[in-house]
Amino acid sequence: MKTAVYPGSFDPVTLGHYDIIERTAKIMDRVVIGVLQNKSKTPLFSAQERVKMLEEVTKDLTNVEVRCFDGLLIDFARSCNAKVIVRGLRAVTDFEYELQMAQTNRVIAPEIDTLFLNTNLKYSYLSSSIVKEIAEFGGDIRGFLHPQIAQKVIEKFAQGKNLETK
């Protein structure tokens, strides 16, 4: 069984991420999405919330599962019995960072390869931060996220505003 892990922060999952997940699910037997509890980022959603959102949007992809992880990605990949790490490349600017990660991971775990998928052109400019910034200032984010995820982002910012005014 060919298993791939697709790691990231997914704060929140965008249509760009989903495109990569859907395409990976077609070429691999099993895909484990790894939600990183990233200590260098302050997330809008907790890791549990991010896992739930991913489970919701991938519920029709029967060979996809979602897990949370911290620590080294290669340890997570090994714990999933995965020999492949999938990453999306949006533009040339992603390349240097991704190559460095892939090379490093390959040195410390030679049995695991990184597979790059080019991000759908429609979403090549997209990032979770950009979506959050638009939402924070009341912009329309419906073109970037699944409707139920867009709703959660809007609610999250509304909660924050309510707390500020209390």
166 is catalytic: no
- Interface map 115-134 toward ligand COA (x if CB under 6 A): ----x---x--xxxx-----
Q: Does 152 bind ligand COA (CB under 6 A)?
A: no
The CB density around residue 49, as the number of other CB atoms within 10 Å, is 16
Q: Does 44 bind ligand COA (CB under 6 A)?
A: no
Q: Does 82 bind ligand COA (CB under 6 A)?
A: no
Alpha-carbon distance of 26 to 163, in angstroms, equals 43
> What angle is formed at CA 136 by the lines to CA 94 and CA 18, rounded to 5 degrees?
45
Catalytic residue among 30, 128, 132, 152: 128
Output the CA–CA distances (angstroms, integers) from residue 70 to 42, 48, 118, 122, 164, in the order listed.
14, 13, 26, 31, 31
C-beta of 30 vs 45, nearer to ligand COA = 45
**DSSP-derived 3-state class of residue 6:** strand
Q: Give the total of residues touching ligand COA (CB under 6 A).
A: 23
Asked whether the CA dihedral 58, 44, 134, 161 is positive or negative, the reply is positive
**What tokens were used for 128?**
């979770």
Out of 5, 14, 114, 135, which residue is the one contacting ligand COA (CB under 6 A)?
Answer: 14
Out of 36, 47, 54, 66, which residue is the one contacting ligand COA (CB under 6 A)?
Answer: 36
**Among all residues, which ones are annotated catalytic?**
17, 41, 90, 128
Chain residues binding ligand COA by CB under 6 A are 7-9, 11, 14, 16-17, 20, 36, 38, 72-73, 88, 90, 101, 104-105, 119, 123, 126-129
